[in-house]
Amino acid sequence: MSVSDPIDRLLDAAESGKSLIKNRDILHFTYIPDNIQHRNLEQEQVTQSLLPILKKSRPSNLLVYGKPGTGKTLVVRKVISKIQERVEKSNFRIRLVYSNSKEETTLYGLLVSFGRQLGLTDKELPTTGLAISEVFKRILNNINENKINVIFVIDEIDYLAQLISKTGKDILYQLTRANERLNNGSLTLVGISNDLTFKEKLDPRVISTLGEEEIVFTNYSVDQIKKILKERIEEAFIPNSVSESALNLCSALAGGEHGDARRAIDLIRVAGEIAERQQSENISEEHVREASQKIEENKEEASLKSYPLHEKLVILAIIKAGGSSTGEIYSSYKTLCKTVGRDELTQRRVTQMLSEIELSGIINGRLINQGIHGRTKKYKLTISPEMIKKAFKDDLTLQDII
DNA sequence: ATTCCACAGGAAACAGTGGTCC
DNA sequence: GGACCACTGTTTCCTGTGGAAT
């Protein structure tokens, strides 16, 4: 094996190089530190409203608001696990069930994930084929039979509200009324939402039961983020490896946006990884800047890669079409379809795709009225065509047209 | 003042998939 | 094996729109 072999060189460097990060787990937002010092008030409030469960009565339903990365989920989870610890010895059973409505894209999926965590098997609760009301009935039966007290945490409940308004099936209403159908055990709902206005989309009857208690998590200030980062850095990095200026920049970047602690922790983690790779002694401002850029690029590339074929074709059509009005993009898209030998979709569908892609921020649309030449929407790319081609180059069907 | 373009975008229907239940 | 269910991606049909051209 020659010394100049690039793989060997990297491996050697990694072995001899200094490791700045001593505990990677702590650099993930989902990790719950034992000693969360911040959000004391909110921890107290959440505990307060769940307290009745210790006295064997049903706690208040709870709505928790706050922007992403404000620690809502962490606090709720921490409080519930503490309560669980308390009652562990008694035969009074509390079960935490957590579902994220954004990850479960359908009502059915959400209920099934709920049932699975209660221990219902594939057989008792199949992943498809049943009527939603039937799924619901089976879950309630399970709670009844086992006499458990369930706390159902629905994260990003605003997405659920959207699903409900689309399908017209109000499982939230049924969930809030579930206790009337339960002889044994109980069901408490904790809804977590990023959107303070989401209640407007709900049935007023649901709001009155769901919103028995409401807690708002305010955004973190730059100083608070700095404090959080300091705590994590102390645990995760070797001493003196993060410069003060890097810490400040990290807090400023994340705090300036939305007070998002998640982003701050991500940032310092990626900066640490970059610094390690460069064999640096410590993490500097420069590393944080690089990390910030890298996170952005990765996000774009990942979202590009995840598009289905026809969306990719539409994006490529935008590159190929000069002026980029919907009509031009569509005819360019049709040519591309012919080249790769795929059936083309209708213009209506392509318009819809364009709006979806626009939401992700990769393209930018502007409505233009051209008088007798009609009205159209002109689209512009917000990222470089090279970046797109780079992301698409692994797709075999597209290789001929890139 | 009226017409008319080139779409935007909502609503509903439909096809297909993968399942249960009796 | 047929009735039924949820869900996704799509098509079909439709109404609405701002301003140049007439």
Q: Are residues A168 and A278 in the same domain?
A: no
* Contact present, A213 and A62 (Cβ < 8 Å): yes
Q: Is residue A19 part of a domain?
A: no
Look at residue A96 and tell me if it is in a domain. yes
Strand B nucleotides within 7 Å of a protein CB: 3-11, 18-21
Question: Is A225 domain-assigned?
Answer: yes
Last residue of a domain, one of A281, A303, A325: A303
**How many Å apart are A187 CA and C10 C1'?**
39
| CA A269 – CA A280 distance, rounded (Å) | 15
Q: Within 7 Å: CB of A132 and strand C? A: yes
pTM attached to this predicted model: 0.83
Residue of least CA–C1' distance to B6: A374
**Count of C-beta atoms within a 10 Å radius of residue A127:** 11
* Backbone φ and ψ of A391, nearest 5°: -70, -30
Burial class (CB in 10 A: 0-12, 13-18, 19+), A123: exposed
Output the CA torsion A251→A257→A260→A262 (10° steps). -80
Instruction: Look at residue A202 and tell me if it is in a domain.
Output: yes
**pLDDT at residue A86, as a whole number:** 87
- Nearest residue to C17 (CA, C1')? A375
Residue A342: the pLDDT is 92
Between β-strands A213-217 and A149-155, what pairing exists: parallel, antiparallel or unpaired? unpaired
Total domains present in chain A:
3
The answer to whether residue A35 is domain-embedded is no
Task: Quote the crossing angle between the two packed helices A261-277 and A285-305, to the nearest 10°.
Answer: 110
Residues A271 and A374 in one domain: no
Q: What CATH number is attached to the domain comprising A341?
A: 1.10.10.10
Residues A208 and A318 in one domain: no
Query: Distance, angstroms, CA A188 to C1' B16?
Result: 39
- Domain endpoint, select from A164, A195, A216: A216
Given this model, what pLDDT does residue A194 score? 87
Do the domain assignments include residue A151? yes
CB proximity A6–strand C (7 Å threshold): no
Closest C-alpha among A20, A24, A4 to residue A12: A4
Judge if A184 and A150 occupy the same domain: yes
Whether A369 CB is under 7 Å from strand C: yes
Same domain, A198 and A266: no
Verify that A252 and A367 share a domain, yes or no. Answer: no
The token pair that represents A74 in the structure block = 């962490």
Residues A102 and A178 in one domain: yes
Residue A50 belongs to domain spanning: 40-216
CA of A300 to C1' of B7 (A): 29
CA–CA separation, A328 vs A310, rounded Å? Answer: 16
Q: Residue-wise over A193-210: b if at least 16 C-beta within 10 A, else e?
A: bbbeebbeebeeebeebb
Ordered per-residue pLDDT tens for chain A, 402 residues: 555 678 887 787 777 766 888 888 888 887 877 666 678 899 999 999 999 988 888 888 999 999 888 889 989 998 998 898 888 877 778 889 999 988 888 889 999 999 999 999 888 899 888 998 899 999 999 999 988 899 999 999 888 887 877 777 778 888 888 888 888 888 999 999 988 777 777 777 888 888 889 999 999 989 889 988 998 898 889 888 899 999 999 999 988 777 889 999 999 999 999 998 888 888 999 999 999 999 989 988 988 999 999 999 999 999 998 668 999 999 999 999 999 999 999 999 999 999 999 998 899 999 999 999 999 999 999 999 999 999 999 888 888 888
**Is A198 inside a domain boundary?**
yes
Strand C neighbours among A 191-230, CB < 7 A: none
CB of A382 nearer than 7 A to strand C:
no
Of A198, A216, A234, which residue sits at a domain end?
A: A216
The pLDDT assigned to A308 comes to 93
Beta strand pairing status for A213-217 and A186-193? Answer: unpaired
Separation of A374 CA and C22 C1' (Å): 16
Instruction: Using a 7 Å cut-off to protein CB atoms, list the covered nucleotides of chain C.
Output: 4-8, 10-14, 16-21
